[in-house]
Structure 1
Amino acid sequence: MWLAIGSELETAMESLINVFYTHSGKEGDKYKLRKKELKELLLAELSGLLDTQKDADAVDKVMKELDENGDGEGDFQKYMVLVAVLTVACNNFWENS
């Protein structure tokens, strides 16, 4: 556990942190997600969103976007950018529905 949780937002923050560290470090650095770890995270945590994605190479594209320096890894900050972008996209979808 990260904090003594009180609010809904604090719970969400704790969940985001826990999800990252649950999947990172299985292959190397525990502070980074490798491509396989990212794929496992996306399949485990965002399977509903991925089911609607028709692009078979979506995970590769996401990893390429996260991996600006070409080291094959994404750190926590890159993961949070991904979560933010996906959250905005989902919000836009629901606003326009």
Structure 2
Amino acid sequence: MLRAQLQVELKQLQRKLGIITILVTHDQEEALSLSDRVLVLADGAVQQIAEPLEAYTRPANRFVARFLGTTNCFDGGVIRHGARNVRFAGCHQHTA
């Protein structure tokens, strides 16, 4: 509870004072709630730079999707497609 309150206060101070803050964290919720933009790294390589909502709803790749825990990932492939439908074979995995 205290951590969440401090996050709100920090965000308010940033806006009030017009300061830029760089926050390094492994806490995805904290990064998404405090940031105007997020940069996701994997092994020192940039995977995505985006506004939090964009990174959350439109991850650039599988690593970002799994790291943020935002999407269902499907392992498999298209076995048949037509004008209005796609048949997909694979195993559904939900990442949380």
- Normalised by the length of structure 2, the TM-score is 0.28
Higher strand proportion (structure 1 or 2): 2
Of structures 1 and 2, the one with the larger relative CO (CA 8 A, separation 6+) is 1
Question: How high is the TM-score relative to the length of structure 1?
Answer: 0.28
Rg: which structure is higher?
A: 2
